[in-house]
Amino acid sequence: MSLVLIGSINLDQLFNVQHAPKPGETLIADGLIEAAGGKGANQAVAAAKNGMEVHFVGRVGDDGAGQSLRAGLDEAGVNTERLLTDPTAPTGRAVIFVEPSGQNRIVVASGANAEVTDADVEPLIAKMGPDDYLLATFESPLDVVETAFAAAKKRGVTTVLNPAPARTGVPESLLKLTNIIIPNEGEATALTGIDTVDAASTAESAKELCRRGVQRVIITLAENGCYYADQDGDEFATPAFNIKAVDSTGAGDTFIGAFLSKLATSSVEDAVVYATAASGLAVSRQGGQPSIPTAAEVEEYLKEAI
């Protein structure tokens, strides 16, 4: 069983601020760290740290940021044979404002992430089978994601979509090719048009996605945990653990990587609880990739917490 990601990879600059800057305002940050990030790369590291075989498809620029981000994935045990170096575009970057509550605001400059092509992905899809997972986000080109999902589905692969960042006008055809979708509330709202703000609207949004062809839906709800629904009519809500938030950057990504790493060997309920603990631990630390816990850390935490 392996996971192939069509993934974004960014160098993040995280500014600790008391509040996000208002129009025309200049702020002095309380602190700054530079860390490896990108939704796809964070998800890849989370899955690899939890024991999954992970192959990353993406692009970095021919620059120092690209080299250090590649080294980070290698160190985490992610296979980077299909992480290509783009000859013209720079490595992706993100500016992230983190408030004392841990809430963040992110702006991404896609750079080389936007240059990923069908040909980058094809060699890996050709080797995939029914035990494998293909995961993508909207930080990679939408047409490449849809073509890859169509090819993967023909091979019996389980397709997983994290529809982030939020966007409207997502083709219905892509939703029909998606086995598992994992949006947050804002992303669910953008997809369904249902204002996903409370328990009732979250359930309604999830069921709407099932009606549109997705087999399993998990809507992540930050400090309120998450909600699961599937086409068989099963549904459940899982609360978050009580962990002090420091920085929410990469929390959703950690949830997704940890969840997929458990899914083959656990019930979906247990995989969700495991992923909720992993993402809670990620929120208690700073940065995208630096905050992702190991399997041993998650298991240790669960032993104490349950």
**Identified catalytic residue from 86, 132, 247, 253:** 253
Helix (H, G, I), strand (E, B) or coil at 180: strand
Tell which one of 146, 208, 230, 253 touches ligand RIB (CB under 6 A).
253
Binding mask 48-87 for ligand RIB (x = CB under 6 A): ----------------------------------------
Using CB atoms within 10 Å of the CB of residue 119, give its burial: 0 to 12 exposed, 13 to 18 middle, 19+ buried. Answer: exposed
Q: Does 39 bind ligand RIB (CB under 6 A)?
A: yes
Q: Does 185 bind ligand RIB (CB under 6 A)?
A: no
Q: Which is nearer to ligand RIB, 1 or 243 (CB)?
A: 243
Q: Does 162 bind ligand RIB (CB under 6 A)?
A: no
* Residue 108 CB-half CA count within 13 A: 21
Which of 271, 216, 192, 261 has its CA nearest to residue 238? 271
* In the complex, minimum distance from the CB of residue 11 to ligand RIB, in angstroms, rounded to a whole number: 8
Give residues 102-141 in contact with ligand RIB (rule: CB under 6 A): 106, 108, 139
DSSP string across 207-256: HHHHHTT-SEEEEE-GGG-EEEEETTS-EEEEPPP----S--TTHHHHHH
198 carries an active-site annotation: no
| Torsion of Cα atoms, 226 then 231 then 234 then 240, to 10° | -10
* In the complex, minimum distance from the CB of residue 150 to ligand RIB, in angstroms, rounded to a whole number: 25
The residue of the chain with the least Cβ separation from ligand RIB equals 37
Which of 140, 107, 144 has its CA nearest to residue 8? 140
Residue 23 CB neighbours (<10 A): 4
- The count of residues interacting with ligand RIB (CB under 6 A) is 16
List active site positions.
253
Q: What does the binding site for ligand RIB look like in residue numbers (CB under 6 A)? A: 8, 10, 12, 37-39, 42, 94, 106, 108, 139, 249-250, 252-253, 288
